[in-house]
Amino acid sequence: TQLLEQSPQFLSIQEGENLTVYCNSSSVFSSLQWYRQEPGEGPVLLVTVVTGGEVKKLKRLTFQFGDARKDSSLHITAAQPGDTGLYLCAGGKVSGGSYIPTFGRGTSLIVHP
């Protein structure tokens, strides 16, 4: 079983601050995804990373995949209240055309105005 550890578990910050969320594992992944989930809704895909060392940017969000493809980070610049939510990382391996990612427990982010 592939385990994904996310840290921190909770984060409460003021609008305008920067933050970084980490996702770590001892397993090597074919790819890794980041999702954001709001209460009562399903997770929404933010990004997929597949290449070791890859960096992707989505407006104020920067995602990095570790060189060994075992870990990833999500950095948010100048956080806004609309960034509030549960951030989930998910990683897995492709096997026979099937891809079943394991999800981390998530980082619950609250951004105060």
Q: Which residues bind another protein (CB under 8 A)?
A: 30-31, 33, 35, 40-45, 48, 50, 88, 90, 92, 94, 97-106
Q: Which of 18, 21, 9, 10 is nearest to 72 (CA)?
A: 21
Cα 61 from Cα 9, distance rounded (Å): 18
| Cβ-based nearer residue to another protein, 97 or 113 | 97
| Cβ-based nearer residue to another protein, 79 or 89 | 89
Q: SS3 breakdown of the chain: % helix, strand, coil, rounded to 5?
A: 5, 55, 40
| Cβ-based nearer residue to another protein, 60 or 105 | 105
CB of 111 to another protein, least distance (A): 21
